[in-house]
Amino acid sequence: MQFFVGNDKTCVIMMSLGNVQLRNNLIMAPMAGVTDRFFRSVVWEKGAGLTVSEMISAKSIVYANKNTYKLLANDADIRPWSVQFFGHEPEILSEAIKRLEESPFDIVDINMGCPMPKIVKNGEGAALMTNPTLAGKMIEAAVNASSRPVTVKIRKGFTAATANAVEMARVAQESGAAAVAVHGRTRDQYYAGEADWNAIAEVKSAIKIPVIGNGDIFTPEMALQRLTESKCDALLIARGALGNPWLFSRTLELMQTGNLPPPPTHAEIIETALQHLHAVENCIEMRKHICWYTKGMHGSAEIRRKINNTKSIPEMKQIITPFLTPPICSA
């Protein structure tokens, strides 16, 4: 079910996945080592309609791995949110979902697009693009085990020669998925080159369940263009939000009013970075985030050099706090 604002029905503002109502159709993509509890809270505050956990191994849930369970931590007021699973054994995925039946999340997502070698070599992630039959069994197992809607993340294909996103999307639909997200790159592209949004549009025209487009969304203007041209129902925003969670709020305003709000000031960016530091308190983890936040600022290369050599949160704060007040340029 989809809801439209204004007369332009190319831009869905509100939507639902199964019985779960989203507040808008801009979704924060799951990213390993990035979309932790606090990062999800930042993008939620900045307008994301749905957030997704880092990838969680179904097998690790079944074997009660404590570190895996930590990935399920979430702020109570950030709802709805989705938990993304990866694996290659339908019965293990089914058991993992059943074990989390009482956990406070809203959507089950299955990763069939991760290109990383350690995932693919186990027949998981994007490797499932080469085995639509097994992919269908995985989805059916999840749907049968879950009281929540099940969504699926796929790619254009494993290789250009074997691109089969339409086939995989049809398998997802026939297996009971509530929606399918499509990254417009093949597995062998990883994140290089340009995302193929024509492939995403082909999926949209081929199936009836919602299609979520993913790939190369770095500006509000690009987000609007992708929605308009592909006719997909929602966007999955990934790297474009790194250090720039305002991409959500600025895109929403552009979609709702036709006006593009100004980008955040350097002070707003640094304030958010300091809040992030205060919440995470993990120096190693925060190095990449601070580099993303300060990208493009005057002196950002020097900031990166210093940040990547810091060994404490107080030292990090000391480095970036002066940027709350931009330097005064002499005449």
- Please give the positions annotated as active site: 114
Among 30, 19, 22, which residue's Cα sits nearest to residue 152? 30
Structure tokens at 147: 């009281």
Q: Please tell me the distance from the alpha carbon of residue 6 to that of residue 56, in angstroms, as a whole number.
A: 38
Residues 6+ apart with CB under 8 A from 98: 145
Residue 44 CA to chain centroid, in angstroms? 12
CA neighbor of 213 nearest in space, from 13, 23, 27? 27
Residues whose CB falls within 8 Å of the CB of residue 331, separated by 6 or more in sequence, listed in order: none
DSSP SS3 for 85: strand
H or E segment and range at residue 157: strand 150-157
CA distance 27 to 180: 13
Report CA-CA distances (Å) from 314 to 1, 37, 274, 282.
48, 21, 10, 11
Side by side, the strands of the sheet bearing 20-22 are: 2-4, 12-17, 20-22
Q: What are phi and psi of 242, to 5 degrees?
A: -70, 115
Between helix 132-145 and helix 165-174 the angle, nearest 10°, is 30
d(CA 232, CA 202): 10
SS3 258: coil
How many C-beta atoms surround the C-beta of residue 225 within 10 A? 14
Q: How far apart are CA 47 and CA 236, in angstroms?
A: 13
User: How far does CA 146 lie from the centroid of its chain?
Assistant: 21
**CA dist., res. 245 & res. 48, Å (int):** 9
